[in-house]
Amino acid sequence: MTQAMLLELERRRHARKNHDVELCSIRLDPDGGDVVDTLHMVDISKSGIGAKADRAFYPGQRIVVSLPMPCDGGLKNIYATIVQCRQCEGGYRVGLEFDTVSVGAWCGVAGAIAAA
């Protein structure tokens, strides 16, 4: 493992679980173009999501992500901030951090989604 990879692992506050789900997101401060995007979640933790996107986001950009609720089949809207976005094969790799207020609402469903 490279030094950069070790530093990235040490920065994470919560363990991540791989999870492949298509999500709908809404840009709260759009930089032009569409406001609604589709994200392809790669992993999730109590504090955020790693995803792939077709379009670039910018660090600090705010979005709302609709997460599926496996217990009742509904959706839960969670506010998040883009912390990183880098170009990768086939699009962009995006890191989202849940807002503090959203984390409280999310914690109740994190176990159910992670177990799915």
- Type of residue numbered 13: R
What is the structure's pLDDT at 7?
A: 46
The number of beta carbons lying within 10 Å of the beta carbon of residue 20 is 8
Indicate whether this model's pTM tops 0.85.
no
Q: Tell me the C-alpha distance between 60 and 82, whole Å.
A: 5
Mean pLDDT (whole number) for 59-77: 84
The domain 16-115 having CATH identifier 3.30.479.30: the answer here is no
pLDDT of 6: 44
Q: How far apart are CA 116 and CA 68, in angstroms?
A: 11
**Predicted confidence band of residue 112 (pLDDT cuts 50, 70, 90):** very low
Question: φ and ψ at 113, to 5 degrees?
Answer: -70, -40
> According to the model, what pLDDT value does residue 69 have?
74
Give backbone dihedrals phi and psi of 31, rounded to 5 degrees, phi first.
Answer: -105, 25
Place of tokens 């992993």: 43
pLDDT range class, residue 67, cuts 50, 70, 90: confident
Q: What average pLDDT does the segment 2-11 reach?
A: 50
